[in-house]
Amino acid sequence: MTIQTFTFNGFQENTSVVYSGKDAVIVDPGCYERFEQQALLDFIQENALTVHAILNTHCHLDHILGNAFCVNHFKVDLITHKEELFTLSLAERSAQMYGFPAFVSSPEPTIFIEDHQIIRFGALEFKVIFAPGHSIGHIAFYNEANAVLIGGDILFKGSFGRTDLPGGSMDVLKKSIHERMFTLPENTIVYPGHGPTTTIGE
């Protein structure tokens, strides 16, 4: 399994293309500008990847700026946790507030996934970990075989996600980190929604 990370939009959000062989998913597409969209397409085309789905760890604006573009281009399902419909409902207002006038509204998710669920896309497999606190329905995608966690904004290198946005809670995030993140093997590589990779041990 290989992960290619792109840093997109003014929030410096990490968009991940996760692939094994030719099977791929895009996690948290933050591509807003045309050149960002093209960079993502070029990589997928150059590697002859088949995109099976778009996954959202959560639906804060910076992580969904490219949802509409990717869903429309690849004609695939948009997948997240059902609790993130609340976060998604705030996207239009957030786009106005933060100055993204060309924001194209995200489609509604077509598949909702649950804690502990195993999801497969060709050669790719993830276990869903429900870990709210940064947002009300935040999830992470864990691949045990490769010791990889696509973690969104739960953990960063030396830090953790903010909790002052609607649906956030410091107490809930602490519980998620201690009970769901820190129970993973220490060698697990964390691909966060912002900044460089880290490990659970670190």
pLDDT tens for 116-130 read: 999 999 999 999 999
- Partnered with residue 5 across adjacent β-strands are 16
Model-level pTM greater than 0.95?
Answer: yes
Span 7-18, pLDDT tens digits: 999 999 999 999
* In the chain, % of residues over pLDDT 90: 100
Residues 202, 156: Cα–Cα separation, whole Å: 10
Check residue 87 and give its pLDDT.
98
- Distance CA(67)–CA(31), nearest Å, equals 8
Which tens digits make up the pLDDT trace of 40-85? 999 999 999 999 999 999 999 999 999 999 999 999 999 999 999 9
Nearest to 6 by CA among 68, 24, 14: 14
CATH number at residue 185: 3.60.15.10
Q: Identify the band that residue 196 occupies on the pLDDT scale cut at 50, 70 and 90.
A: very high
How many structural domains does the chain have?
Answer: 1
Whole-number pLDDT of residue 177 = 98
Q: Which long-range contacts (CB under 8 A, 24 or more apart) does 162-167 make?
A: 162/134, 163/133, 163/134, 165/60, 165/134, 165/135, 166/86, 166/87, 166/90, 167/86, 167/87, 167/132, 167/135, 167/136, 167/137
Quick one: which of 90, 79, 63, 47 has its CA closest to 6? 63
Give residue 167's pLDDT band: very low, low, confident or very high (50, 70, 90).
very high
Mean pLDDT of 140-166: 97
**Under DSSP, is residue 164 helix (H, G, I), strand (E, B) or coil?**
coil
Domain that holds residue 170: 2-199
Report the DSSP beta bridge partners of residue 139.
130
